[in-house]
Amino acid sequence: MNLTIIGTGYVGLVTGTCFAEMGHHVTCVDVDARKVAQLRQGKSPIFEPGLDDFLKRNIAQKRLSFSTSLADACDSGEVFFIAVGTPPDQDGSADLQHVLEVARQLGEHLKSDAIVVDKSTVPVGTARMVQETIEHHLQHRGADHRVVVVSNPEFLKEGAAINDFMKPDRIIIGTEDAHARERLAELYAPFNRNHQRLLFMGTRDAEMTKYAANAMLATKISFMNEVAHLCEALGVDVENVRLGIGSDERIGYHFIYPGCGYGGSCFPKDVRALCHMARDQGIEPGILDAVERRNQAQKERLAQKIIARYGEDLSALTFALWGLAFKPGTDDLREAPSRTLLEHLIARGARIQAYDPVAMEAAREHFPKEWFDRRHLMLAEHQYAALEGVDALILVTEWKPFRHPDLGAMARLMRQRVVFDGRNQYDPHQMRAAGFYYDAIGRSS
């Protein structure tokens, strides 16, 4: 099939590249000319394991191309995927301006009947709005092409995006149209092996499913973070509790790891957008509000622990920070707990020597310049260089190289043997036996 993917962010780029890998002809369109130029050379603007190989191979085999012109792509496309951003508006609702702009352009440029697929995470009712916008512009120029808008949300995780796309748990196809249903079933057939992964439903059901999935996962995390806080107060080890409850299949081990808060471009934004949708319907989103509040509080936990130990004035102290990305496997700093922590520490005069296996460049770009200029934040060459002369180590992202550190080397390099662990990576007994003060999440120090 000839596929057009509009938007080359995480979702769009992975979708386009994986469909090309499956043998389709894919054009990815983006308004950002610099990004398109870079992509044409096979260079991914995001860090995602496996993506570069897929990109290069499919470009070389002429199945994958990039363009800045949606009008040109309309000449040959049959299925158009909308994968542009839906950033949060000031009030937390999803901002649909990019999605609707794409709809307008499709209405103006489509040359034949088309299936338009919403891949972006969009509020319930958006497929309808997209459909109306396209039809309005088609009518305006007297075109009578038949367009069907389908909701097909994406469930990929950063850092595992290729695998999630190639081996999905489920493929949600929201449409009431029999032809669109048939075409998309055909398109996804190679991903639908071994057992039935295709789930057909209405467009509104599909839109809601995406939000409900992310909100449920965020709820599990916030619930566990609250339990962890309680564990700390009661002298209970949350790691034992996690194992104890996770073994119940109805609860499961996934997404019950307490930590220093969830971040990224999805959970925070989607929980807030769902709260907004609820309020629009006159419903008080009690649970979702609490999920968001707990997460905000959780992002403060490490700073609170540090202030509790050292007081408000941190100007005489240097900290090592291991991990900046919002989770391992990505260089994404959006809504990362590291940022909240840095803001607190730097506001109190601390100096920080940070190391992240891949997010250093992103940090240089996204963190305030004055943090670097005033030497509050320094980026270290490697994880042990970050430890030189520090008063404490703070672990924020559980990258694999941080999981089994050389405690002897740590003790030699650090001025004080103090570790604040935001991801419960170490054994408290082992740490204390090695002479470390060790404070983690939900494990009494």
**Which residues lie near ligand UGA (CB under 6 A)?**
121, 154-158, 214, 217, 221, 255-257, 259, 262-264, 266-267, 326-327
Give min distance, CB of 411 to ligand UGA, in A. Answer: 28
Give me the least distance between CB of 186 and ligand UGA, in Å please: 24
To the question of whether residue 86 is assigned a binding role by annotation, the answer is yes
**Of 211 and 367, CB closest to ligand UGA:** 211
Closest distance of CB 243 from ligand UGA, Å: 13
Q: Is 48 annotated as a binding residue?
A: no
By C-beta, is 27 or 120 nearer to ligand UGA? 120
257 labelled as ligand-binding? Answer: yes
Q: Least separation, in Å, of the C-beta of 271 and ligand UGA?
A: 11
**Taking a C-beta distance cutoff of 8 angstroms, is the pair 291, 219 a contact?**
yes
Q: Closest CB to ligand UGA among 105 and 424? A: 424
Angle formed at CA 277 by CA 339 and CA 157, multiple of 5 degrees:
45
Task: Just list the catalytic residues.
Answer: 266
Is 400 labelled a binding residue? no
Nearer to ligand UGA, 66 or 262 (CB): 262
Provide the β-strand partners of residue 322. Answer: 355, 395
95 is in an annotated binding site: no
Detail the residues annotated as belonging to a binding site: 30, 35, 86, 121, 155-158, 210, 255-259, 263, 269, 327, 334
Detail the residues annotated as belonging to a binding site for substrate: 155-158, 210, 255-259, 263, 327
